[in-house]
Structure 1
């Protein structure tokens, strides 16, 4: 675990990841031969080891939320737990295990395997700014992307919001259940940004053993981190196909389903009180249907009152909708 301890001691707040990038480059030069590293304008790191027709790919982010990192920051290990501590102030300080645990897994895999791609993104914690400006050509010969960047020990994220991330074929091949993982929904992270930008291979996000992220009480359970590493290794060794997955068509279907659900809600509300104006309906329901536009709600509102009338069609086509809603 010496590498993990070294990572925890590097302070890498969002927007100032230089120290972590220096550490990663230096570690690779000293310990992992035959690796190519490049960066882009945003500061993301792209790493390729070996030559192959297709590569497994691991993603992690270089930044952490915690801004405080005392000069006397030290690590405490007890009963399989690791947490940060400042003796001078006598209080805990966050490890940045979100996502230094993911960096650790990526570097361990780079050490172990002959062919692998790794990408380290900057500024994930401030809105996935690095991945939103990533070089998408880097992923053209990847079989899948794994991002170890989730609290806890058992979550395998297969969808975020309305976006599906991976294929059933990939999930079946991954063997995740043997490692006590369960599929579930997650929150914004870099693989979501990649999928939204059109990445058409399977992606997953894995719990990697950190708890209470984004706080000074953050800690890592070593056995949970090691179990995540074992699952990642299992996937790299056994998932040798290209696991294609396009979420665009699925997203359109989901948006269509959301429209129909919103339509039912508007009709039910107006059926109970038809004195409600459009703004009343729109302001009430918009938070529940984030993928629908104002125009979507206008269409539904007009359809309720007179869906077959020529007047409704004229209102829409002439742009005089503001006179009615």
Structure 2
């Protein structure tokens, strides 16, 4: 976990990813057979080996958290990793969203002879990096995997009514043997790539972080390792190219709209018993649900406590 903890130590808020970029650049250039490129906006493109087609992993370089003290330390226990400042006596977020994805990508880069990686800036403020990515980089990719999902069991096959991958890719990935399940996801870079015309299958995977965008964020190590194992399995077994033309229709019935997605996400957060205000929720999630305003967060906040506070005389259940 030493590489992972080094990544957690680096503070990389949106628009200020330079320290993370430099770390990755210095780390990667020591690996033989690797070519590094960048673009005008600051995205990193890495190619290892010479092949007709490549597996590809994507991750984003930025994080949301405001707190990151000079004495920030990533504390590792037997089961979890969390961030802490001794001087300020408080827990601080790791930025595991998406440093866990960066870690998986770098681990695979050392292990495999042929691989492509794409690291995007400013995902958390609207997928700005992937929105301006050099799309030709992906022309010889077999598929694109982005480990950038909280929890431990989600393989995202659709985001915002944009389909991401083919049935053939899903079958070949073998995700079920790793305890994963298909689900719909939220805005992230692979969605942006598909909407810009990416012609191969891609997906977003749960990679072991919890309570993202908060100062209580933590990583469960076994869940992160399970994600790494799934990514390695896909690289080793999905040796064909998996074409996929994204379906980008209008809104479809049966799919949550952005308000419903936000409600599910925020209800799950509030169920942990932490005391958050509507303003806190807006700060944490406005980049994920950009169409929602403060009034929407107040509605979700009020609805949660109305549902969970039932009064019988002086007793509350």
TM-score, with structure 1 as normaliser: 0.77
Q: Deviations over 1:210-252 (max 9, x none)?
A: 00000000000000000000000000000011100001xx33x
Give, in whole Å, the separation in 1 of the partners of 2:74 and 2:147. 22
Matches within 5 A, 1:19-58: 19-30=19-30, 32-58=31-57
In structure 2, the gaps of 5 or more residues are: 254-290, 292-317
Provide the C-alpha distance between the structure 2 equivalents of 1:165 and 1:98, rounded to a whole number of angstroms.
20
Q: Is the 8 A contact 2:161 2:252 kept in 1?
A: no
- Is the CA contact 2:208–2:221 (under 8 Å) kept in the aligned structure 1? yes
Work out whether residues 45 and 117 of structure 2, in 8 Å CA contact, stay in contact via their aligned partners in 1: yes
The CA deviation string for residues 269-322 of structure 1, in whole angstroms up to 9 with x for no partner, is xxxxxxxxxxxxxxxxxxxxx9xxxxxxxxxxxxxxxxxxxxxxxxxxxxxxxx
Describe the superposition over 1:183-205 as per-residue Cα deviations: whole angstroms up to 9, x where unpaired: 00000000000000011110100
Larger Rg belongs to: 1
Structure whose residues are more often helix by fraction: 1
Aligned positions of 1:171-250 closer than 5 A: 171-247=170-246, 250=247
Matches within 5 A, 1:302-313: none
C-alpha deviation, 1:257, in angstroms: 6.1
SS in structure 1 at match of 2:230: helix
Matches within 5 A, 1:109-128: 109-128=108-127
State the superposition RMSD in angstroms.
1.2
1:257, 1:209 → 2: CA distance? 30
Equivalent in the alignment of 1:2:
2
TM-score with structure 2 setting the length: 0.79
Deviation at 1:256, TM superposition (A): 8.5
Measure the CA separation in 1 of the matches of 2:84 and 2:124. Answer: 22
Q: Which residue of 2 aligns with 1:300?
A: none
Equivalent position SS for 1:232: helix
Q: Structure 2 CA distance, aligned partners of 1:205 and 1:256?
A: 21
User: Which residue does 1:284 correspond to in 2?
Assistant: none
Which whole-Å CA distance do the structure 1 matches of 2:251 and 2:40 have between them? 38
In the alignment, is the contact (CA less than 8 A) between 2:172 and 2:238 conserved in 1?
Answer: yes
Dislocated runs of 4+, deviation >6 Å: none
Q: 1:192 to 1:88 in 2, by over 3 A?
A: same
Are the equivalent residues in 1 in contact too, given 2:4–2:100 (CA < 8 A)?
Answer: yes
Partner of 1:305: none
Match of 1:277 in 2: none
Distance (whole Å) between structure 2 residues aligned to residue 239 and residue 224 of structure 1: 22
Q: Which residue number in structure 2 is paired with residue 16 of structure 1? A: 16
> Measured at CA, do residues 256 and 8 of structure 1 come closer, stay the same or move farther in structure 2, by a change above 3 Å?
closer
Whole-angstrom CA distance in 1 between matches of 2:3 and 2:29:
14
Question: Secondary structure of the equivalent of 1:51?
Answer: coil
**Cα distance in structure 2, aligned partners of 1:28 and 1:240:** 24
Deviation (angstroms), 1:79: 3.2
Cα distance, 1:28 vs structure 2: 1.2
Paired position in structure 2 for 1:169: 168
Equivalent position of 2:250 in the other structure = 255
CA–CA distance in 2 between the matches of 1:96 and 1:196?
A: 26
Residue 124 of structure 2 aligns to a residue whose secondary structure is coil
Q: SS where residue 29 of structure 2 aligns? A: helix
Q: CA 1:29 to 1:246, structure 2 compared with 1: closer, same or farther past 3 Å?
A: same
Q: Residues of 2 paired with 1:54 and 1:257: CA distance? A: 34
